[in-house]
Amino acid sequence: MPITVSIPTILRPLTNNQKRIEIDGFNVLEAIEQMEQQYPGIKEKLITGGEARRFINIYVNDDDIRFSNGLSTRLNDGDSLTILPAVAGG
């Protein structure tokens, strides 16, 4: 069973307006690399300098990957990966 990825509104133009996509990958980075193959351009929206962008939140199930192993966080079949742009300002 693949990983289900929830795509935020702002990135849907890259995924043919799909809200959810299914992907394989043993960790978050590999899942993003797989997405990049199918939906070019998405990786640079999520990653910079080898790390998740500071104002993009990525969750595996209910957990923010910043508090586990970042992009190396393991994925298991059936997990959900949620991408949400942080809401921030000054």
Told to check if 57 binds other proteins by CB under 8 A, we report yes
Instruction: List strands edge to edge, sheet with 20-23.
Output: 20-23, 3-6, 80-85, 56-60, 63-64
Query: Is the Cβ–Cβ distance between 21 and 35 less than 8 Å?
Result: yes
Point out which span in 24-32, 34-42, 68-76, 80-88 binds other proteins (CB under 8 A).
80-88
Comparison of 29 and 65: residue with beta carbon closer to other proteins? 65
Comparison of 37 and 48: residue with beta carbon closer to other proteins? 48
Comparison of 43 and 66: residue with beta carbon closer to other proteins? 66
Closest to 55 in 3D by CA, of 70, 69, 45, 43: 45
Told to check if 64 binds other proteins by CB under 8 A, we report yes
- Which member of 59, 60, 79, 81 binds other proteins (CB under 8 A)? 59
Query: Is the Cβ–Cβ distance between 31 and 25 less than 8 Å?
Result: yes
> Please, what is the Cα angle at 11 between 42 and 7, to 5 degrees?
95
Provide the binding-site residues for other proteins, judged by CB under 8 A. Answer: 8-10, 55, 57, 59, 62, 64, 66, 82, 84-90
